[in-house]
């Protein structure tokens, strides 16, 4: 069977697609006789997956052309009350294929192509719960996804998953970018680059670069009602799924029959192939919310950075940041410069004292007396600016859930269209109603995060989760889940020790960002804030880099994080932030090396312009960039924001040169990037 091209694929390749909406469910009814090996190829024959049973194990392997990417790797779950299953055969195989495209309501790419082939095998195991397990593989040309369907479990039967035996066995030498999972600060860590064999327990997306020229990334899609998956190394390069357990040690509590999230492997020959893959979205269910025209991408400012700089406080008192007067000042600024939202933290009661230890004291409806919610929202409405709410829970999830409906109802009634949530709490200490301590992304929190999103949707409120369960593409199904944090963001540049080194933003696009949008909050202009002279304690980037991040790090909501006065002190540079959109027709990673540099181009949704963002690590470099993404024969005014003479994140971060020239698709741009530098370009269509 290996290498054989199923007849449906031969037919499809020779057939020019007349319509994008071709959906075929084809071929091969369950085989009459038990088989031990089934294979399938991706639509363009780039990848092949074979599944087989050997020595009581169910295994899959993945090839790209002649290269074995994943050597035989185990499949299957184990359950409480029965031994580890041994599999005897594949008792059925079904094949299907789809070649469709669908439109995102907002996103990095308006139209998404979903071109995949599918193989579902039924495994026969020797335990009651593993008696008949379907494993469905979806093969795209740039990666695969697979998930289990425990269809043989009786409806309503409660089961407890005690092990996920799924393995990934990359062949050859790989470098990995990762941090140790289960740390106190959840996913807020700097990445280190090591030999992949040194991985102990890594969060996903876990990205690898091979000596064979391949780039791989392991993650999951559609994580619903199941614990988050980490990957455990065995010292020899094989990775095994490791699920965040419940307080009692059970990994997942399910009711039969059930399907798991998709386990995904992106496979490409460049970092950009990973970043530009849309598998994550394609493996999620379509929009469940119906009309989502009320979900608005956009840019916002907020009473936020001033607190992280300790100029004002979240708690009440003389230096309280969330006063009506201060909010109105930000709203005036937002209205004047075209921002549609103002985030306000510290508006609600519960911040006084050690709030991180007393999340149960937070009220999500009662404001501090110097914050007049109705007056503020009316003030904003008159100026076309909406208040963005903030719900810091400090991990007191029960307290939040108890107020959730009432809170969202209140926000909707005053026109709050989006809420930023937060779960500042050490990663394994989230209490459930029974007092059990949960991991920040175990099944309990996966369910909680979605409950918040679904409740918010009922009131037409969008959610931006900080300290979240990692993204797995659920924005497709729940388009009001607009963004998340889930990595070390800009906040660490206010007080981190160390702050984020320059390479961090050249790693994120190929690690954290593969999961989905990130609320990084770029745009710090006062890079020497307070005369900070220790480089590792301040924002480690040039001003041009701060601008470039609006293009490099995708999010449908982007903050201009600095203080209004710092923007008003440099309006020429601020113009780029005013001009850059947050919703795109198309996105392309033009060139990159993970942790060294990245160049991204995006075209505004429904527009003719293009935007480009480039960032480098601590090394200066000169990149040659063809402009062949521009429409041939058209002229563009390139508005270039580049590192100025002598720019260097260590000694001269604010040197910025702004210039304009006319270019076409035939031109080549030289991107001279300073240490810690970057470049941001708007290509304004002239024709």
Quick one: tokens of 199? 């991985």
Buried b (16+ CB within 10 A) or exposed e, 373-393: beebbebbeeeebbbbbbbbb
Q: CB-wise, 340 or 485, nearer to Ca ion?
A: 485
Nearer to Ca ion, 108 or 485 (CB): 485
392 binds, among ligand NOJ, Ca ion, none (CB under 5 to 8 A by kind): ligand NOJ
Contact 50, 43 (CB under 8 A): no
**Under rule CB under 5 A, which residues in 123-182 are in contact with Ca ion?**
none
For residue 644, what are its two tokens? Answer: 């100025």
Residues 485-504 that bind Ca ion (CB under 5 A): 485
In 330-398, beta strands by DSSP E: 341-344, 386-392
Binding residues for Ca ion restricted to 512-541, rule: CB under 5 A: none
Residue 424 interacting with ligand NOJ (CB under 6 A): yes
* Dist. CA 440–CA 523, nearest whole Å: 29
Q: How many CB atoms lie within 10 A of CB 251?
A: 25
State the minimum distance, in angstroms, from the CB of residue 395 to ligand NOJ: 11
CA-based nearest residue to 564, from 214, 393, 257, 327: 327
Applying CB under 5 A, the span of 198-206, 216-224, 460-468, 569-577 interacting with Ca ion comes to: 460-468
464-523 residues near ligand NOJ, rule: CB under 6 A = 466, 485, 491
The binder of 486, among Ca ion, ligand NOJ, none, by C-beta within 5 to 8 A per type, is none
d(CA 164, CA 243): 7
309 lines the binding site for ligand NOJ (CB under 6 A)? no
- Give the distance between the most distant pair of CA atoms in the chain: 78
- The least distance separating Ca ion from the CB of residue 524, rounded to whole angstroms, comes to 16
SS (H, E, C) 190-216: CCEEEEHHHCCEECCCEEEEECCCCEE
Q: Given its phi and psi angles, is residue 617 left (phi above 0), alpha (psi -120 to 50 degrees) or beta?
A: beta
Q: How far is CA 241 from the centre of its chain?
A: 20
For residue 486, the minimal CB distance to Ca ion (Å) is 9
Contact 540, 500 (CB under 8 A): yes
- Size of interface with ligand NOJ, in residues (CB under 6 A): 8
What minimum distance in Å lies between the beta carbon of 399 and ligand NOJ? Answer: 15
Binding track over 12-51 against ligand NOJ, x by CB under 6 A: ----------------------------------------
Query: CB-wise, 220 or 485, nearer to ligand NOJ?
Result: 485
* Choice between 321 and 653, CB closer to ligand NOJ: 321
The yes or no reply on residue 562 touching ligand NOJ (CB under 6 A) is: no
Q: Residue 489 Cβ, how far from ligand NOJ at the closest point, in Å?
A: 6
Beta strands in 188-332, from DSSP E residues, in sequence order: 192-195, 201-202, 206-210, 215-221, 229-233, 239-243, 252-255, 258-259, 262-268, 298-303
Residues 260-299, one symbol each (x = binds ligand NOJ by CB under 6 A, - = not), give ----------------------------------------
Nearer to Ca ion among residue 490 and residue 546 (C-beta): 490
Residue 134 interacts with which of Ca ion, ligand NOJ, none, CB < 5 to 8 Å by class: none
- Nearest in space to 419 (alpha carbons), one of 379, 465, 451: 465
Nearest alpha carbon to residue 360 among 401, 396, 315, 390: 396
Q: How many CB atoms lie within 10 A of CB 155?
A: 7
Q: How many residues bind Ca ion (CB under 5 A)?
A: 2
- Applying the rule CB under 5 A, the residues between 381 and 410 that interact with Ca ion are none
Q: Shortest Cβ distance from residue 63 to ligand NOJ (Å)?
A: 42
Scanning residues 463 to 482, which ones bind Ca ion (CB under 5 A)? 466
CB nearer to ligand NOJ: pick between 304 and 379: 304
* Residue 120 CB, nearest approach to ligand NOJ (Å): 41
Binding to ligand NOJ in span 392-411, by CB under 6 A: 392
Give the Cα separation of 576 and 563 in Å (integer): 16
Q: How far is the CB of 188 from Ca ion (least distance, A)?
A: 6
Nearer to ligand NOJ, 392 or 609 (CB): 392
CB of 390 to ligand NOJ, least distance (A): 7
What span, in angstroms and rounded, lies between the C-alpha atoms of 62 and 144?
Answer: 9
Distance CA 576, CA 579 (A): 5
Is the Cβ of residue 125 or residue 395 nearer to Ca ion in the bound state?
A: 395
Q: Pattern of binders to ligand NOJ over 347-386, x per CB under 6 A?
A: ----------------------------------------
Catalytic (active site) residue 392: no
Tokens representing 150? 């425990």
- Strands of the sheet containing 298-303, edge to edge, are 481-484, 462-465, 418-422, 386-392, 341-344, 298-303, 557-559
The residue from 220, 306, 491, 529 that is catalytic is 491
Q: Indicate the residue among 364 and 611 with the shorter CB distance to ligand NOJ.
A: 364
Nearest to ligand NOJ of 272, 422 (CB atom): 422
Q: How far is the CB of 306 from ligand NOJ (least distance, A)?
A: 11
CA 417/CA 380 separation, integer angstroms: 12
Instruction: With H, G, I as helix, E, B as strand and everything else as coil, classify residue 327.
Output: helix
Tokens 């580049």 — which residue?
A: 642
Q: 3-class secondary structure for 31-51? A: CCCCECEEEEECCCCCEEEEE
Q: Which of 233, 380, 422, 676 binds ligand NOJ (CB under 6 A)?
A: 422
Contact set with Ca ion (CB under 5 A)? 466, 485
The catalytic residue positions are 491
Contact set with ligand NOJ (CB under 6 A)? 304, 345, 392, 422, 424, 466, 485, 491
């Amino acid at each position: 069977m290996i290498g054989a091209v199923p007849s449906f694929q031969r037919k499809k390749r020779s057939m020019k697609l007349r319509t994008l909406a071709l959906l075929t469910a084809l071929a091969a009814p369950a085989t009459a006789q038990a088989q031990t090996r089934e294979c399938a190829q991706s639509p363009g024959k780039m990848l092949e997956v074979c599944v087989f049973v050997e020595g009581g194990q169910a295994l899959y392997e993945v090839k790209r052309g002649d290269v074995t990417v994943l050597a035989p790797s185990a499949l299957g779950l184990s359950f409480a009350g029965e031994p580890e299953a041994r599999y005897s055969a594949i008792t059925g195989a079904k094949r299907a294929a789809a070649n469709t495209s669908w439109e995102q309501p907002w996103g990095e790419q308006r139209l998404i192509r979903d071109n995949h082939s599918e193989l579902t095998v039924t495994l026969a195991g020797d335990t009651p719960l593993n008696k008949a397990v379907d494993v469905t593989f979806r093969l795209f040309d740039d990666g695969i996804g697979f998930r289990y369907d425990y269809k043989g479990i009786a409806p309503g039967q409660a089961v407890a998953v005690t092990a996920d035996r799924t393995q990934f066995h990359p062949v050859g030498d790989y470098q990995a970018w990762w941090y140790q999972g289960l740390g106190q600060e959840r996913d807020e860590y700097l990445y280190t680059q090591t030999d992949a064999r040194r991985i102990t327990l890594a969060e996903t997306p876990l990205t690898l670069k091979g000596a064979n020229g391949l780039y791989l990334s392991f993650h999951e899609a559609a994580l619903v009602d199941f614990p988050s998956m980490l990957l455990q190394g065995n010292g020899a390069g094989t990775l095994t799924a490791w699920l965040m357990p419940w307080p009692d040690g059970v990994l997942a509590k399910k009711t039969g029959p059930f399907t798991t999230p998709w386990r995904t492997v992106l496979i490409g020959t460049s970092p950009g192939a990973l970043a530009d893959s849309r598998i994550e979205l394609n493996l999620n269910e379509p929009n469940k919310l119906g009309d989502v025209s009320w979900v608005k991408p956009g840019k916002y400012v907020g009473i936020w950075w001033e607190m992280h700089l300790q100029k004002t406080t979240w708690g009440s008192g003389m230096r309280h940041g969330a006063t009506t007067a201060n909010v109105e000042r930000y709203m005036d600024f937002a209205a004047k410069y075209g921002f549609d939202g103002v985030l306000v933290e510290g508006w609600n009661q519960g911040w006084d004292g050690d709030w991180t230890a007393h999340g149960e004291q937070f009220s999500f409806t009662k404001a501090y007396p110097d914050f007049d919610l109705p007056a503020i929202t009316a003030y904003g409405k008159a100026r076309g600016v909406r208040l963005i709410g903030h719900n810091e829970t400090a991990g007191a999830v029960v307290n939040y859930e108890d107020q959730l409906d009432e809170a969202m109802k209140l926000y909707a009634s005053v026109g709050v269209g989006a809420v930023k949530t937060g779960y500042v709490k050490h990663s394994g200490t989230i209490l459930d109603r029974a007092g059990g301590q949960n991991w920040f992304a175990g099944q309990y929190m996966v369910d909680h995060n979605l409950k918040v999103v679904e409740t918010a949707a009922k009131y037409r409120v969008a959610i931006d989760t900080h300290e979240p369960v990692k993204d797995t593409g659920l924005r497709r199904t729940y388009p009001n889940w607009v963004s998340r944090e889930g990595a070390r963001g800009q906040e660490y540049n206010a007080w981190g020790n160390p702050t984020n080194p320059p390479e961090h933003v050249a790693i994120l696009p190929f690690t954290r960002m593969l999961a989905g949008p990130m609320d990084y909050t770029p745009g710090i202009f006062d890079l020497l804030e307070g005369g900070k002279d220790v480089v590792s304690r301040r924002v480690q980037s040039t001003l041009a880099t701060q601008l470039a991040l609006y293009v490099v790090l995708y999010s449908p909501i982007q903050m201009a994080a600095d203080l209004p006065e710092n923007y008003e002190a440099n309006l020429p540079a601020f113009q780029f932030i005013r001009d850059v959109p947050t919703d795109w027709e198309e996105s392309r990673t033009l060139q990159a090396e993970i942790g060294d540099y990245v160049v991204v181009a995006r075209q505004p949704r429904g527009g003719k312009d293009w935007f480009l963002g480039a960032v480098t690590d601590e090394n200066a470099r000169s990149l040659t960039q063809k402009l062949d993404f521009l429409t041939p024969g058209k002229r563009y005014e390139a508005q270039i924001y580049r590192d100025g003479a002598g720019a260097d994140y260590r000694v001269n971060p604010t040197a910025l040169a702004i210039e304009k020239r006319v270019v076409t698709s035939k031109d080549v741009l030289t991107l001279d990037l300073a240490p810690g530098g970057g470049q941001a370009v708007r290509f304004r269509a002239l024709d």
